[in-house]
Amino acid sequence: MEGNRSMSLEGSPFHFSGSYNTFISVGCDNFATVSGIAPTVFGCISDCTNTNIRETYISNCTGFMCCESTNVPSNLQEFAVDFRTISESISESTERSENCKFAFLVVKDRLLSNNSVKYSDDVPVVLEWAILKQTKNSPVMIRSLKYRHDRGRSLKKKKRKATMIKVGVVSSIMDGAGIRRRVDDSAQAFLRRNDWEVRQININDGTVQVQMPIIYSRYCHVRPTGMEGNRSMSLEGSPFHFSGSYNTFISVGCDNFATVSGIAPTVFGCISDCTNTNIRETYISNCTGFMCCESTNVPSNLQEFAVDFRTISESISESTERSENCKFAFLVVKDRLLSNNSVKYSDDVPVVLEWAILKQTKNSPVMIRSLKYRHDVICNFSSNTFHCACASGYEGNPYLSTGCEGTHL
């Protein structure tokens, strides 16, 4: 394996699964990132004082000697890793450290079942696959499958029809989810936690679309009033978290290395560079690294969103902003760029939050009793929250007594 730094599936129908695998790296003074996915930056950081890692077991991978990042990029057909020291910048590709380091993808339950990482030759990895149309037997297979009544309309999972409710209709559901309506009885609703405007509520998916402010670097002189120094968006203490499935991470700026903070040892962000520093009125046709960058594999279950801005030549261990260029970053619904195809300086953007109803609200005990024994409703309960949806074969609002209507016999 000497010198083998890349695992390739190119030319095959396989790719490394982003859903079933996790990224692990072991080493001291270690900043490990997956290469070849620019402008996305994805990896993790580990540090320690013991450099003998060959026979060492690590009870977990939270940053001491071993680190883990679960939000693996999707559709990877090549897996390669760059190893840097923590003091090296993202722009440096040489390895200064003489410590042994290693990294791998592995099925997500590997650490849960074994709870250790040890120097080894190979590990179990999940690949996703599809049949190539250009193989010898594919045309015959496609013709035979095309008109079969038992094949289903699509191999893809049928998307559940969204059940929306008007944001102006405040009920015990919205109250339990921490949403309030304006006192003037208008159709506007807001999150009680931080006063973000609610634009859409999806009952079945347990999601809320809100307008969230953009985060700016300290050198942006054109920030909206009241946003000076606001570098963190928090949902702590509420039943909400930022959706990793529906949102994407965008950052705009020159000489820009933007990373989501507070998620160590995971490193997640992106890099953008350019020569034009006037970004206020600039439209960017896409976010592939010139002035604007995008990373789609947003970490799940985030309740706080904050961003560190560095220059590309700064190391991950540095927290000061050297660049005087204006930079900004935000989470935004994934179809935002597809429908608008541009990014512009703005005050706020649409973001999807996932939610559940708090058990300790006034109406929750009555609601739980009424939902518990209904055959047309499925509920998930945790220690502090619960969320319900209409059962398979039903559509509608599960929180109303007759809200779930049958879609077939």
pLDDT of 267-309, one tens digit each? 999 999 986 555 554 555 678 899 899 999 999 889 999 999 9
**8 Å CB contact between 119 and 1:** no
> Hey, what amino acid is at 146?
K
Average pLDDT of the chain is 79
Segment 239-264 mean pLDDT: 92
The predicted structure's pLDDT at residue 278: 53
Residue 266 has pLDDT above 90, yes or no: yes
Confidence class of residue 45 from pLDDT cuts 50, 70 and 90? very high
Beta strands in 39-101 (DSSP E): 40-46, 66-69, 78-84
Q: Is 65 exposed, middle or buried (0-12, 13-18, 19+ CB in 10 A)?
A: buried
Helix (H, G, I), strand (E, B) or coil at 366: helix
Residue 1 has pLDDT above 70, yes or no: no
The predicted structure's pLDDT at residue 157: 45
The predicted structure's pLDDT at residue 402: 82
Residue 325 has pLDDT above 60, yes or no: yes
pLDDT of 146-164, one tens digit each? 777 665 544 444 455 555 5
SS3 content of the chain, % helix, strand, coil (to 5): 10, 35, 55
Residue 408 has pLDDT above 70, yes or no: no
Residue whose C-alpha is closest to residue 122's, from 134, 110, 131, 132: 110
Residue 330 has pLDDT above 90, yes or no: yes
pLDDT of 193-230, one tens digit each? 778 888 888 877 888 899 999 998 887 876 655 455 55
What's phi and psi for 19, nearest 5 deg? -85, -35
